[in-house]
A and B are shown apart, each in its own frame.
Chain A
Amino acid sequence: MKLQEYTLSTHNFEECMKCTVCTAYCPVLQVNPLYPGPKQAGPDGERLRLKDPFFFNYALKYCLNCKRCEVACPSGVKVADLIQSARIKYDTSPPKWRDRLLASTDFMGSLARPVAPIANAVTGLGVTRSMMDAMFKIDHRRIFPKYSPYSFEFWMGRHEKEQAAFSEQVAYFHGCYVNYNYPRLGKDLVKVLNALGVGVQLLEKEKCCGIAMITNRMMKEATRNANHNVGALAKAVDKGLMVITTSSTCTLTLRDEYPSLLGVDNSGVRDFVMMATRYIYERLEKGATLRFKSDYHKKVAYHTPCHMEKLGWGIFSEKLLRMIPGVEFTMLDSACCGIAGTYGFKRENYEASQAIGENLFTQIRAVDPEVVACDCETCKWQIEMSTGYTVMNPISILAEAIEDKQ
């Protein structure tokens, strides 16, 4: 027996040096004293929970899962994963109806989309919002994203043939938001990729990535979706396709949360799932070109979504935007917007959510851009609702800036 193999910890939480850097970076701690903080909730709490589940603290639900603690940790401790895993393992109470409702983006989308005008009108009504607040504790100050009258999948169905004509192909994991609420982003991606000579196809059938289910502890449903999606991704990968995404949260979920929180093995597909900005940047780096409009001008402030920060890929969105002639680029200091998917929709989190975002909102107001760029749909809702500034995905800005005919 070699002693070398027998002496180093593989328990990630034991790498914590108690330096408290994570607590200085946690956006929740700054606004909510009920939250024990990432160090306490993560590596410290883990040792106690291993002793006895009695030490599980229900205040862990205040964690945003923004992963800023992980980005800041000098020891590489997966603090947020520890917290989410603990919630999954020890909080055995059934998820509330409200949480189920918020988490079922796929289900809600397929219900609401065919009756989009009515659904939008209803969810927009003050009375509905008060009712949702009273019945479900969904904060009445929240504005729900509007549903699109047609789905992105439907639109793609009508363009299947022309997309198939491209010699190079990628698959697109569009996510619920593009499909039900905002097909335009998907169409923008198709435009940019086509301009690069790449055709876009859908996965055989994609389901919601499941992040909202995970954070709302609907583990069975989340695992079912994860297994389905890994299968669908594998089929695309087997065909030799890269899988492109436009949502940083979906991407992080597909790549990292599946194995770490759901125990779903995605090793065969993980490296083939890529944010569109990275994919496009790499194409351009290898010599592909885009023709930009000569008269394009836009003052853009880029906000790195928390999960983009965790992916470490903000650099690609930044470099792409800076590459566009006519873009006056400002990088905003990295800060959480406070929404964290469904978190900010819950009445008990509304104040905290807005207080967390204030740091970012102040920066945006100071820069006063024409548009805020960011790769996450929930950040978009939050920033638009809280500041009134328009938020666009970098892909949409790119689509707007390139010539229609390449």
Chain B
Amino acid sequence: MRFNTVIIGGGLAGLTAGITLQKAGRSTAIISTGQNALYFFSGSFESLEEAPQRITDLFTEAGIGLHYNPGVRLMPMGTFRKAVLSLEDISLFPEPKIGNKALIVSFTGYHDFFCSFLAEGLEKQGMQCRVKLLNLPELEQLEKSPSEMRSVQIARTMDRIWETVVREIRILLRDEDTVILPQVFGLKDTSVPSRIRQGVPAQVVFTGTLPPSVPGVRTQMLLKRRYELLGGTYLMGDEATGAHVHNKVVHSVVTQNLGNHFLEADNFILATGGFFSKGLKSNPFEISEPVFDLDVEQAEDRSDWYNPEFMREQPYMKYGVATDPALHALSGGEPYKNLFAIGSILGETRPDLGTGGGLALRSALAAVDEILKPDEE
């Protein structure tokens, strides 16, 4: 099968590249080994100080609302973090004092949302907090299973019964100006978060839970749907296992499922992520890139890979695939002519492009621009 561009990796970077290329009329395929880091997406794009129009357009067209509002956001452990560009359901505030009185609402038996930590964090900012747990008969089905009171499962129910939650909150609400809720709303019905905000007579702050992240799952679904609507081919649950390469040009990739049916293309984009997603592999002696055996910037001695303090920055998380300025991936110090590396597989080798979500978006667009650049000859 032949495409203009084959993208390996179906996370934020891969989908951004895929959507943009499809929109530009290029045929693409995305090879994705199962789900990806969007499942753990916090909802804010790291290291994006401004909000480029093409990024907001890309999301808006996929049905994902973004808002740009430099400030801070409330984190699940009650701390505050700087945030700029975020999904619409993430509230951004100019300062950590986000109100005077807060009602924190969760569900009985739900351990993945940290009410007491949130309350303490807000009290530190001078707010008064009250925690209430809702006991909803509709969640009984989930309670029956010892491992089912988890975000996505609850969100599935909430798509149906969010109005009950609004009703309960209205009953509970006294003089609080702020209601804190777990991010378990709007999994499939994307209108739920804003309808809750309309229904509750106080500002509603949706706050993160333990993964899976419901806004992340939703973002992934919507981006993937957008990509497929644009005619992209998303090969779910497949894995690139090797490639045919000649004179620093990639001709095709081999996948687990398609075997000897190779995927040919003019361009290839590698967006396979960091260690978790197996974009980078490690053994006791080295860190490597498994599909093309690209150059990976790393410390030679394993002892230097880690900081013994968990909370400090970890050197290994900065390692990544080496690229030239146009993001062509390097192997043996030489760039591939038609292979680009984007997203977190770059680690922090490209400080100019940022980290996390910002890196995924910026590097994806940069690689796409390079692909779409008219031939110089």
B212 is an interface residue with CB less than 8 A from chain A: yes
Report A-chain residues with C-beta under 8 Å of the C-beta of B36.
74
The answer for the CA separation of A309 and B257 in the assembled complex, in Å, is: 10
Report yes or no: B257 in contact with A313, Cβ–Cβ below 8 A: yes
Report yes or no: A278 in contact with B237, Cβ–Cβ below 8 A: no
For residue A334, which residue of chain B has the nearest CB?
Answer: B236
Report yes or no: A7 in contact with B147, Cβ–Cβ below 8 A: no
Report A-chain residues with C-beta under 8 Å of the C-beta of B141.
33
Chain B contact residues, majority secondary structure: loop
- Pick the interface stretch among A20-28, A154-162, A294-302, A397-405: A20-28
Report yes or no: A71 in contact with B34, Cβ–Cβ below 8 A: yes
A37 is an interface residue with CB less than 8 A from chain B: yes
Report yes or no: A74 in contact with B35, Cβ–Cβ below 8 A: yes
Report A-chain residues with C-beta under 8 Å of the C-beta of B142.
33
For residue B217, which residue of chain A has the nearest CB?
Answer: A24
The answer for the CA separation of A7 and B36 in the assembled complex, in Å, is: 25
Report yes or no: A309 in contact with B237, Cβ–Cβ below 8 A: yes
Chain B: how many interface residues by the 8 Å CB criterion? Answer: 41
For residue A6, which residue of chain B has the nearest CB?
Answer: B284
B167 is an interface residue with CB less than 8 A from chain A: no
Report B-chain residues with C-beta under 8 Å of the C-beta of A21.
34-35, 39, 212
Residues of B within 8 A of A (CB): 1, 33-36, 39-40, 141-142, 144-148, 150, 152-153, 156, 211-212, 217, 228, 233, 235-239, 255-261, 276-278, 283-285
Report yes or no: B211 in contact with A20, Cβ–Cβ below 8 A: yes
Please report the number of residue pairs spanning A and B whose Cβ atoms sit closer than 8 angstroms: 98
Q: Which 8 A-B pairs have the closest CB atoms?
A: A312-B257, A71-B237, A33-B144, A24-B152, A74-B34, A33-B145, A21-B35, A73-B34
B32 to chain A, nearest CB (A): 9
Residues of A within 8 A of B (CB): 3-4, 7-8, 17, 19-21, 23-24, 29-30, 33-37, 39-40, 70-76, 271, 278, 282, 285, 309-313, 315, 319, 331, 334
The answer for the CA separation of A70 and B258 in the assembled complex, in Å, is: 16
B259 to chain A, nearest CB (A): 6
A255 to chain B, nearest CB (A): 10
The answer for the CA separation of A262 and B39 in the assembled complex, in Å, is: 34
B229 to chain A, nearest CB (A): 10
Report yes or no: B278 in contact with A75, Cβ–Cβ below 8 A: yes
The answer for the CA separation of A312 and B147 in the assembled complex, in Å, is: 30
Which one of A20, A30, A334 lies within 8 Å of B156 (CB-CB)? Answer: A30
Report yes or no: A331 in contact with B228, Cβ–Cβ below 8 A: yes
Given contacts A24-B153, A76-B33, contact A315 B145 (CB under 8 A): no
Report B-chain residues with C-beta under 8 Å of the C-beta of A39.
147
The answer for the CA separation of A20 and B217 in the assembled complex, in Å, is: 12
Report yes or no: B147 in contact with A72, Cβ–Cβ below 8 A: no
Which one of A8, A19, A37, A319 lies within 8 Å of B283 (CB-CB)? Answer: A8
Report B-chain residues with C-beta under 8 Å of the C-beta of A75.
34, 278
Report yes or no: A36 in contact with B277, Cβ–Cβ below 8 A: no
Report B-chain residues with C-beta under 8 Å of the C-beta of A29.
145, 148, 153
- Most B Cβ at <10 Å: residue of A29, A34, A271: A29
Sample (27) of A-B pairs whose CB atoms are under 8 Å apart: A3-B284, A8-B283, A19-B211, A19-B212, A21-B34, A21-B212, A23-B150, A23-B153, A29-B145, A29-B148, A33-B145, A34-B145, A35-B145, A37-B145, A37-B148, A70-B237, A71-B34, A71-B236, A72-B237, A73-B34, A74-B36, A271-B260, A311-B257, A312-B258, A313-B258, A319-B1, A331-B228
